[in-house]
Chain A
């Protein structure tokens, strides 16, 4: 197996996630796209860890998984708060700070 097949798979997942973050207007769907991005990063970390024959890649992938779990918890709490205040999770209507 080549190293590149994993890296390009990661790049493809990353770009699909970027499209989702930019194009979605539902708050929960934006959070799902962020999960895609974080998983693309994990594929890269584990592939490089296997390439260099070191456990450090796996260790940092585990750190990313922990941070992603914390991010989803806080993110969904924020989405719930937006829903409670506006009865909608349409991110297009959250523009209070827009000049």
Chain B
């Protein structure tokens, strides 16, 4: 338990620092690379609570595909590689205030509701078998699954239609 808490702390600290860099750095490519650290940290947290299939999917889809898509987007929009002075707008202070207030309210609500609830209160954290996840997808959530596959098809066609040259 102690080892898990230590690793949680290390990963969480790396994630938070990188996430702050994602929204504050002036270099677009650096923001994408810091985003990789955050996404890898999320995958590590998934594995820490025994959700290994979701963790592997996170690595495959986000780090493998989404980041490459972002780098293509940066390349195709010819954002200057290097420091740009005007990546933030002039409302950044009010935006920071909004985010801080939101965090304060959410933290208060969470501490009020789940003060020191143990995550293992309903049974020890075991690796949740990938079989259980697939059974759940293809039995209980079959219709949402089909809807998501249709959504992916529609998004694919939509992206091609929108980005195609006339």
Contacts and interface: CB of A to CB of B under 8 A. Distances in A.
Interface of A: 1-9, 11-20, 22-29, 31-33, 35-36, 39, 42-43, 46-47, 49-53, 55-59, 61-63, 65-74, 76-81, 83, 89-90, 92
Interface string B123-144: 1010010001101110011001
Nearest to B136: A55
B16 A46 contact: no
A8 B129 CA distance: 26
Interface residues of B, number: 92
B103 A73 contact: no
Given A19-B95, A20-B22, A1 B120 contact: yes
A17 B61 contact: no
A53 B152 CA distance: 29
Q: Label chain B's interface by main secondary structure.
A: helix
Nearest to A26: B87
A14 B38 CA distance: 12
A53 to B, nearest CB: 5
A56 to B, nearest CB: 6
Contacts of B140: 56, 59
A76 B73 contact: yes
Contacts of A7: 110, 114
Given A65-B58, A70-B151, 9 more contacts: A1-B119, A13-B19, A22-B91, A28-B70, A46-B54, A50-B119, A51-B121, A72-B69, A74-B162
6 contacts: A1-B120, A2-B114, A2-B116, A22-B98, A36-B38, A80-B76
Q: Which residue, B49, B50, B118, has most C-beta atoms of chain A within 10 A?
A: B49
A3 B34 CA distance: 26
Contacts of B123: 53
A21 B137 CA distance: 32
Contacts of B88: 23-25
A6 B50 contact: no
Contacts of B69: 72-73, 76
Contacts of B128: 49-50, 55, 58
Given A19-B98, A61-B54, A69-B65, A2 B23 contact: no
Interface in B1-56: 1, 4-5, 8, 12, 15-16, 19-20, 22-23, 28, 31-32, 35, 38-39, 42, 45-46, 48-51, 53-54
